[in-house]
Structure 1
């Protein structure tokens, strides 16, 4: 048995601290149009479908980059990849700050999505290589919860800064912060503790050393992963649970609350911030229930979370205008349940695939969430345009209600496939 002493506690927490606050900044950058979508529409004279493309193409690039980022993390480690990701996000926000037209602005968001794709996988790699293997699961949950604070920054301080100064100052400030974190990562972050020769995970109870890998398997591995109903169950779980929250928080929530429901920007930001708080509270609860009831996760956690979102949205859509504040708060709490429920998908992927195919199955699962999210965002934008509500001054409560109703077929499709693949998985087991 080979024993490797863990790194000093302060050094582990320094690595994680820089990485996780970089992830907070990445979430802020990712959702930076959430509270200023109306401002963006005015600035670029963009209709609703075009505004949707900002988020759709950003998410598409983020999802596409997950595969090469895994390969690059294996080859070069977290430090250079995360630093480059920060530089790309800074470049994207600088271009966004100075962009003269909508085409360049969309390209800026795609550049930002490419940089964003490197941060969360990089932080998870730091957790795996710096912390004892027994603490990895807890630290990954803590990383995800802490990172969501970036949504609060995007929803409250960013619009205040924009309205107090200018578009250039607000987005230029985000670019400056990304450069600061690129320097911090390059200067202080190390791929692994100095006593270890490579990126490995150490079990300090047994002394076992495991090489950390992130790469996605070959095309044959992707086919093998998809052929297992457990992987398809994971895909449809991640497809169905989080997309409504993604569409609401990334783009359409604040315009709906302000232009549709008549809330002030501050009130809309406060309502949307409940989404973040609820996600932080619900995450550990869902994680504990998932661990305690591994064979009932679909029916106990995933489908109830989807059902809560569907019921809340139907109540909002049918309620006479204006919708009361308490119902809007219940709506965002229901939407927040989709994030923790969607993480169950990765438990499915891990449970039903061999270790050598885990990264492949995880990648396939992750695609489901981004595919549904960008589809929902685009459908809402197109539905607004079809109704003639293509610009903020034309937005109406009725138009938003019909637009958000386009999410219902996605939920029905997802739930049908979850039940189908769950039955197939149980038969195989």
Structure 2
């Protein structure tokens, strides 16, 4: 939860950040792009370190890095220093979610995996609510330095708590293992001797690639909306009050929290139809909702904006299904490496979307809070369409290859 509060700390104060650093839209996008680029780039190295050292030390280091990043952000006098702060923040954030997924795998039976991952996601989503309301209120009632310095202090506190209370594995086990309660099989979770072989082997399986593209396509629109561009669009583009806009964005988070256990249970029940029944429909509703909003004549009515945030809310829980794919199609010794490959997909798409939105706003001469307009925002959000098209195409392709690999579909004969 604290990691996502850190990740989303500019979501409700993006306009304040633009004014503080005199930043145009492309520069403001750069804050999020750099943060997500570091996050995505660190996923495979973090996965390898997790396979070698376990969750607790990696999580402690991640918490401390985020604290340092927020402290630097609190005192940063310029854009350059603030970008360094976001680099540190992205590096620390990258360690947390994969480490928690490893704890799920080593502390809980394999059959509970999908539900526990969704419950983990739900807990984390509460961090979005903290970033949206209390953080903005605190900023407007105190100062920038006090607000971000306070988050840095929380990070140090939680680093101590993680070190004190979190353990890599249950005390009765000498190694990190995952247990199948139906068969009684216990598998050791450890790293491959040849790291390069482990990464290549993970990527060679179509199930891992299916996981990557599922995570690439499902959450990026919601991430771009929540992380940076949602509040400016709703307030400066659609003309909503800050309170109404924050309420809508909060609804997105609540929807994700409600849908998480439902999609987790469905993913467990229909493991061979996850992509067709859950992943692709969640993408389709996001595309349809955005197209309706973009092509609506004039400002979109409140009911349509509500539909939009509800549909975007489905993307987060659907993205968790990607980790079910990664866990299903990879042996235990590649668990964290495959998770890292999968997790990098969503953030690669998100940083691309955030940058394209900011760049498109700048190219239209609407790069600062004073020049934002509804028409400019619509063209900017339209740039998400190619990412959806690419992702959905690759999901269909890799799903077919995965089903052939599993023996569920016949292999196509070559002429």
Same fold (TM over 0.5): yes
Quote the residue 2:402 is aligned against.
Answer: 425
Query: How far apart in 2 are the matches of 1:217 and 1:397?
Result: 52
Q: Is the 8 A contact 2:33 2:354 kept in 1?
A: yes
Contact 2:121/2:260 (8 A) holds in 1: no
Q: Residue 86 of structure 2 aligns with which residue?
A: 109
Aligned to 2:164: 187
CA distance in structure 1 between the aligned counterparts of 2:106 and 2:207, rounded to whole angstroms: 28
Q: Deviations over 1:197-240 (max 9, x none)?
A: 34344567876543233679633333333333333222222211
Partner of 2:173: 196
Alignment of 1:133-144 (within 5 A): 135-144=112-121
Structure 1 residues 111-120 or 200-209, which shifts more?
200-209
Indicate conservation of the 8 Å contact 2:103/2:169, yes or no.
yes
Distance 1:214-1:57 versus aligned 2 partners, 3 A rule? farther
- CA shift digits 1:342-368 (9 cap, x unpaired): 222223333334444444433322222
How many residue pairs get aligned? The number is 406
Match of 2:369 in 1: 392
2:50 to 59, 73, 82: 73
- Specify the alignment match of 2:307 in structure 1: 330
Native 8 Å contact 1:217 1:360 kept in 2: no
The question of 1:118 aligning with 2:59 is answered no
Is the 1:236–1:417 contact (alpha carbons within 8 Å) kept by the matching residues of 2?
yes
Query: Of the candidates 243, 262, 276, which is equivalent to residue 266 of structure 1?
Result: 243
122, 129, 138: which one aligns with 1:161:
138
* 5+ long unaligned stretches in structure 1: 1-23
1:253: how far off? Answer: 0.5
Correspondence for 2:13 among 33, 36, 39:
36
Moved more, 169-178 or 319-328: 319-328
| Equivalent-residue separation in structure 2 for 1:89 and 1:239 (angstroms) | 24
Q: Which residue is equivalent to 1:291?
A: 268
1:254 deviates by 0.5
1:212 and 1:335 map into 2 onto residues whose CA distance is 35
State how far apart, in whole Å, the 2-side matches of 1:222 and 1:84 are: 23
Give TM-score, length-normalised by structure 2: 0.91
Correspondence 1:367 to 2:367: no
How far apart, in 2, do the equivalents of 1:309 and 1:108 lie? 32
SS of 2:9's partner is coil
Structure 2 CA distance for aligned equivalents of residues 128 and 296 of structure 1: 22
- The within-5 A match list for 1:306-385 is 306-385=283-362
After superposition, give the CA deviation of every residue in 1:18-75 in whole Å (9 maximum; x if it has no partner). Answer: xxxxxx1111000000110000000001111111111111111112222232333344
Tell me the residue number matched to 2:410.
none
Instruction: Work out whether residues 246 and 373 of structure 1, in 8 Å CA contact, stay in contact via their aligned partners in 2.
Output: yes
| Partners of 1:70 and 1:216 within 8 A in 2 | no
User: For residues 289 and 280 of structure 1, what CA distance do their matches in structure 2 show?
Assistant: 15
**TM-score of the superposition, structure 1-length normalised?**
0.88
For structure 2, list consecutive stretches of 5 or more residues without a partner in the other structure: 408-415
Q: Root-mean-square deviation (CA), in Å?
A: 2.3
Distance 1:142 1:172, change over 3 A: same
Aligned partners of 1:67 and 1:216 also within 8 Å:
no
Report which stretch shifted further, 413-422 or 119-128.
Answer: 119-128
Structure 1 residues 136 and 412 mapped into 2: Cα distance closer, same or farther (>3 Å)? Answer: closer
Offset at 1:294? 2.8
Matched, 1:411 2:381: no
How far apart are 1:134 and its partner, in Å?
5.4
Range with greater deviation from structure 2 (342-351 or 367-376):
342-351
Is residue 47–residue 339 contact of structure 2 (8 Å, CA) maintained in 1?
no
Distance 1:61 1:191, change over 3 A: same
Distance (whole Å) between structure 1 residues aligned to residue 201 and residue 272 of structure 2:
23
> Secondary structure at 2:370's aligned position in 1?
helix
Q: Report the Cα distance in structure 1 between the residues aligned to 2:327 and 2:23, rounded to whole angstroms.
A: 42
The change in CA–CA distance for 1:358 and 1:280 in structure 2 (over 3 A counts) is: same
Q: Distance in 2 between matches of 1:205 and 1:412?
A: 39
